[in-house]
C-alpha cells in the first residue's frame, strides 16, 4: 500500500488526457469520524493519501455538518438543504420499509416533494453518469432511481461522472496495528480507562484503513485518465461515534474534516492554491452548491448551501445545526456557532443527555462510562451526560475552551453574548422554517395532510407557531404555571403537547383539571403527553390509556407512548403483558423500547 501511495503522489503531478469538457465530481464521504488525521494534526497515525490530497488541494479547518447523525446528515447532503427545513431531521424516518418504516397511509408524504430536485438528479439530467457506492440512508423516498449504478467505470469514456464513495470509516473498528499508542490523547471528558483507550486506538486504526481506501479511489481515477479533470471532495458524515460525539452538537459530533482537490482550470477560476488552508465556517450542505457550480449547473433556489469556492463567496458568520430523534431516543437540540463561541439550546432539558438508546448502550465504551459513573469514578465533567436534567442553554468560548467543558450560560459576564446568540438561533429557526419543535407524531399527520412536511411549511408561514413553541418550552423550564395553563388552551396541538409535558415535569397541581381535558384531546400525541403528566402527579389510572396508545394507527404515537411509560420507571410493570406484545410491533423503535422494558423487569 505504501508503494501505491508513493506512486499515486507522483502521478498526481502528471497531466491526464482531456476526456471531457465538464469536470468530474467525486464525493468521498466517510462514516463516523472526526478530524483525527495527519493533516489536521494527529500524530498517532499516518494518513499519507489524505495528507497528499490536502497538499494538492484546500484543507478547511472549520467545516461542520448540520446534523450529527447519518441519515439526517446525508439527507441534507443530497438536497443541499437543512434537514429541519426538508422535514428529514429525525433519524431513520420517512421510509416505507426498514428501520424508519411506518405505515402505508403516510408513504406518499415521505416522497421528495416535486419542487425539490436532489443533487444526483441534477447531475443525471445534465448528462453525467451518476453512481453511489453504496450507502444511502436517507430520510425520504426518492421519486426516481437516483443512480445509474455503483461503478463509475461503466460510464462512457467521454461522459463526465458524478461519483459518490461511502467509506465505513469509524464504523470499521479493528485492532490497532498502525497506531502509536504512546501518542494517543483522550479528550478530558472521557475516563482514561483501558476499554476507552483501546477503543480510541481502534478508531484511529480505522483512519489508517480509510486512508488506504482513499488511495485506491484516487489511483483508479488516475489509471482511467480522469483524475486531472476531477474535483474531489472528502469529508465525514459526522463526528466519531462516542458518548459526546455522534448524535450531539459538541465539536466532537459536528466538526468534520473537509478537503477539496480541484482540477487546475478550476483552481485558476476560484483562486485556489495548492496546499491552501481556509479557516472560514463551511456547512456540509455547501458542498452541493459548490459541486453544481463547478460543473456549470444552476443551483436551484431551494438549495440553502452556498458555493464556498466562488470568488464572490461571502464567508458565513455562523453555523446552524440541529439534532433530533435518533432511533428511539427523542431529543431536540439546536446550535449556533461563530468563529469563537458556540450556543447550544437543549429543548428537552428535562431528560438526560445519555437517555436509553439501543445503539449507544450497545457500545462497550458507553457501558464502561455508565459503570464508572455508577461507581462514582467519573469527575464532574465526565459525569455530566448522566445527570437526570441538563441546562437548557450551553455557551462555550471555543478559543479558551475548545473541549467545551465550561458552560458560560449562567455567567453574568456573558449575558449579552448569550442573549445575542439565543436571538440569532431563534431567528434562524424561523427563517429556515425549522419544524423540529413540532412533536413527530403530530408533524407526520401534518405532512400527510399537506402532501409533505416541506410543503406544509413552504406554503404557510409558521414562524409564529415556532416562536410560540419556544415560549411554551421556556415557560416550562421557568416553571411558569400560569403561562403553561394558558398555552394548554391553544388551538395548536403542538403547543398543547408541550404544555402538558411541562405541567407533568413540574408537577403543577393546579394543572390537574387541564390535564384531564388534554387526556381526551382529539390529537393522540397530546393524550400521551397528558396521560404521562397525570401519572407523574400521582394518578396511575391513566397508565392504561398510555398502554392503549401503543397500538395507535400512527405508529409514532405508539412509540411515544412506550417512551412515556419507560420514563415513568416501575409504574408500567402491571402492564407487562401488553408491553411484551409490543416487541412484535410493526415499528422498529417501538420494538426496541418494549424489549428494553421487558428485559429490565425480567432482571429485577
How large is the C-alpha radius of gyration of the chain?
25
User: Strand 24-30 and strand 161-167: pairing?
Assistant: parallel
Q: What is the pLDDT, as a whole number, of residue 10?
A: 42
* Class at the top of the CATH hierarchy for domain 430-603: mainly alpha
Read off the DSSP letter of residue 296: T
Task: Tell me what percent of the residues of the chain surpass a pLDDT of 90.
Answer: 95
Measured between alpha carbons, how far is 458 from 435 in angstroms, rounded to an integer? 11
Q: What is the pTM of this model?
A: 0.95
3-state helix, strand, coil in the chain (%, to 5): 50, 15, 40
With beta carbons less than 8 A apart as the criterion, state whether 492 and 465 touch. Answer: yes
| Alpha carbon distance 539, 512 (integer Å) | 10
Grid coordinates representing 339 are: 468563529
Answer whether 442's CB lies under 8 Å from 496's CB. no
> In the prediction, which pLDDT does 244 show?
97
How far is residue 261's CA from residue 32's CA, in Å, rounded to a whole number? 22
Q: Does position 598 have pLDDT exceeding 70, yes or no? A: yes
pLDDT score, position 493: 98
CA distance 171 to 313: 35
What are the pLDDT digits (tens) for 583-593? 999 999 999 99
Whole-number pLDDT of residue 21: 85
Residue 288 reports pLDDT greater than 70: yes
pLDDT exceeds cutoff 80 at 16: no
List, for residues 220-259, the tens digit of each pLDDT value: 999 999 999 999 999 999 999 999 999 999 999 999 999 9
User: What tens digit of pLDDT does each residue of 451-507 get?
Assistant: 999 999 999 999 999 999 999 999 999 999 999 999 999 999 999 999 999 999 999
Q: What is the pLDDT of residue 603?
A: 74
What is the CATH topology of the domain spanning 2-10+24-269+291-313? Alkaline Phosphatase, subunit A (3.40.720)
Distance CA(138)–CA(71), nearest Å, equals 5
Asked if 2-10+24-269+291-313 and 430-603 have one fold, the answer is no
Could you tell me where the DSSP H helices lie in 316-363?
A: 358-361
pLDDT at 574 over 90: yes
> 255: closest CA among 244, 239, 240?
239
DSSP string, 593-604: HHHHHHHHHHH-
Arithmetic mean of pLDDT over the chain = 96
Q: How far is residue 172's CA from residue 472's CA, in Å, rounded to a whole number? A: 43
Grid cell, residue 181, equals 499508542
pLDDT band, very low/low/confident/very high, at 13 (cuts 50, 70, 90): very low
Please, which residues have CB within 8 angstroms of residue 49's CB and are 6 or more apart in sequence? 5, 8, 211, 212, 214, 215, 218
Q: Does 9 score more than 80 pLDDT?
A: no
Q: In the 3-class helix/strand/coil scheme, how is 510-555 assigned residue by residue? A: HHHHHHHHHCCCCCHHHHHHHHHHHHHCCCHHHHHHHHHHHHCCCH
As a whole-number percent, the residues of the chain with pLDDT over 70 amount to 97
Q: Which residues pair with 323 in a beta bridge?
A: 333
Nearest-angstrom CA–CA distance, 453 and 229? 39
Write the pLDDT tens digit of every residue in 187-198: 999 999 999 999
Q: What is the torsional sign of CA 141, 289, 228, 56?
A: negative
| pLDDT value of residue 592 | 98
What pLDDT sits at residue 604? 60
For residues 220 and 209, give the distance between their C-alpha atoms in angstroms, rounded to a whole number.
17
7 pLDDT more than 80: no
Compute the Cα dihedral for 364, 366, 371, 375 and give only its sign. positive
- In the structure, what pLDDT confidence band is assigned to residue 302 with cuts at 50, 70 and 90? very high
* Span 203-224, average pLDDT: 98
Would you state the pLDDT for residue 17?
A: 43
pLDDT (tens digit per residue) in 125-146: 999 999 999 999 999 999 999 9
From 100-104, 147-151, 190-194, the region with the lowest mean pLDDT? 100-104
Give the whole-angstrom CA distance, residue 344 versus residue 431: 18
pLDDT, tens digit, 9 for 90 and up, residues 517-570: 999 999 999 999 999 999 999 999 999 999 999 999 999 999 999 999 999 999
The cell for 188 is 478530558
The domain limits of the chain are: 2-10+24-269+291-313, 333-418, 430-603
**Alpha carbon distance 182, 403 (integer Å):** 21
- CA–CA gap between residue 36 and residue 16 (Å, rounded): 31
* Residue 548 burial (C-beta neighbours within 10 Å; 0-12, 13-18, 19+): middle
For the chain, what's the residue count? 604
Contact present, 20 and 227 (Cβ < 8 Å): no
Alpha helices (H) in 378-523, listed in sequence order:
380-383, 415-431, 440-450, 453-458, 463-477, 481-487, 493-505, 512-518
C-alpha distances out from residue 287 to 25, 76, 257, 260, Å: 11, 10, 13, 10
Q: Is the pLDDT of residue 421 over 70?
A: yes
**For residue 500, what is the DSSP state?**
H
Query: Is it the case that residue 15 has pLDDT exceeding 80?
Result: no
Amino acid at each position: 500500500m505504501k508503494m501505491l501511495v508513493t506512486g499515486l503522489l507522483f502521478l498526481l503531478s502528471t497531466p491526464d488526457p482531456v476526456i471531457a469538457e465538464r469536470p468530474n465530481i467525486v464525493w468521498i464521504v466517510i462514516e463516523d469520524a472526526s478530524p483525527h488525521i495527519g493533516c489536521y494534526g494527529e500524530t498517532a497515525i499516518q494518513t499519507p493519501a489524505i495528507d497528499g490530497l490536502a497538499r494538492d488541494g484546500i484543507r478547511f479547518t472549520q467545516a461542520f455538518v448540520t446534523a450529527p447523525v447519518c441519515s439526517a446528515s446525508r439527507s441534507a447532503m443530497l438536497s443541499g438543504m437543512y434537514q429541519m427545513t426538508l422535514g428529514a431531521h429525525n433519524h431513520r424516518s420517512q421510509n416505507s420499509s426498514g428501520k424508519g418504516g411506518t405505515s402505508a397511509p403516510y408513504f406518499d408524504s415521505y416522497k421528495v416533494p416535486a419542487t425539490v430536485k436532489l443533487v444526483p438528479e441534477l447531475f443525471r439530467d445534465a448528462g453525467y453518469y451518476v453512481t453511489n457506492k453504496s450507502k444511502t440512508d436517507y430520510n425520504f423516498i426518492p421519486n426516481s432511481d437516483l443512480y445509474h449504478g455503483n461503478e463509475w467505470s461503466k460510464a462512457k469514456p467521454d461522459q463526465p461522472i458524478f461519483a459518490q464513495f461511502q467509506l465505513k470509516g469509524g464504523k470499521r473498528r479493528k485492532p490497532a496495528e498502525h497506531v502509536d499508542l504512546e501518542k494517543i490523547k483522550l479528550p478530558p471528558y472521557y475516563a482514561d480507562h483501558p476499554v476507552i483507550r483501546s477503543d480510541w486506538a481502534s478508531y484511529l486504526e480505522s483512519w489508517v484503513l480509510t486512508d488506504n481506501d482513499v488511495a485506491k479511489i484516487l489511483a483508479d481515477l488516475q489509471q482511467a485518465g480522469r483524475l486531472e479533470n476531477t474535483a474531489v471532495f472528502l469529508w465525514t458524515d459526522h463526528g466519531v461515534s462516542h458518548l459526546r460525539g455522534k448524535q450531539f452538537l459538541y465539536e466532537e459530533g459536528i466538526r468534520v474534516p473537509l478537503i477539496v482537490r480541484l482540477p487546475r482550470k478550476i483552481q485558476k477560476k476560484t483562486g485556489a492554491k495548492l496546499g491552501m488552508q481556509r479557516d472560514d465556517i463551511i456547512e456540509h450542505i455547501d458542498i452541493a452548491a459548490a459541486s453544481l457550480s463547478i460543473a456549470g449547473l444552476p443551483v436551484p433556489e431551494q438549495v440553502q448551501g452556498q458555493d464556498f469556492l466562488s470568488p464572490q463567496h461571502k464567508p458565513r458568520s455562523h453555523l446552524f445545526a440541529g439534532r433530533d430523534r435518533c432511533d428511539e431516543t427523542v431529543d431536540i437540540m439546536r446550535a449556533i456557532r461563530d468563529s469563537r463561541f458556540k450556543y447550544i439550546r437543549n429543548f428537552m432539558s428535562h431528560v438526560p443527555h445519555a437517555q436509553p438508546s439501543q445503539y449507544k448502550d450497545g457500545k462497550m465504551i458507553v457501558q464502561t462510562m455508565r459503570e464508572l459513573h455508577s461507581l462514582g469514578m467519573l469527575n464532574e465533567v465526565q459525569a455530566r451526560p448522566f445527570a437526570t436534567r441538563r441546562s437548557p442553554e450551553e455557551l462555550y468560548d471555543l478559543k479558551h475552551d475548545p473541549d467545551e467543558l465550561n458552560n458560560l450560560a449562567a455567567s453574568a459576564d456573558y449575558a449579552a453574548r448569550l442573549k445575542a446568540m439565543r436571538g440569532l438561533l431563534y431567528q434562524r429557526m424561523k427563517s429556515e422554517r425549522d419544524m423540529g419543535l413540532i412533536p413527530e407524531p403530530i408533524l407526520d399527520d401534518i405532512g400527510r395532510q399537506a402532501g409533505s412536511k416541506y410543503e406544509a411549511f413552504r406554503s404557510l408561514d409558521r414562524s409564529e407557531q415556532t416562536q410560540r413553541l419556544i415560549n411554551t418550552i421556556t415557560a416550562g423550564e421557568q416553571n411558569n404555571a400560569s403561562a403553561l395553563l394558558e398555552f394548554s388552551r391553544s388551538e395548536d396541538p403542538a403547543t398543547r403537547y408541550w404544555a402538558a409535558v411541562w405541567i407533568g415535569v413540574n408537577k403543577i397541581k393546579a394543572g390537574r383539571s387541564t390535564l384531564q381535558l388534554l387526556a381526551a384531546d382529539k390529537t393522540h400525541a397530546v393524550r400521551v403527553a397528558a396521560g404521562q403528566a397525570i401519572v407523574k402527579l400521582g394518578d396511575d389510572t391513566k397508565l392504561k390509556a398510555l398502554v392503549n396508545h401503543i397500538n395507535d394507527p400512527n405508529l409514532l404515537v405508539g412509540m411515544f407512548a412506550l417512551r412515556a411509560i419507560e420514563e415513568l420507571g416501575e409504574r408500567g410493570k402491571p402492564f407487562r403483558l401488553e408491553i411484551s406484545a409490543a416487541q412484535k410491533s410493526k415499528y422498529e423503535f417501538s420494538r426496541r423500547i418494549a424489549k428494553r422494558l421487558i428485559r429490565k423487569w425480567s432482571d429485577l
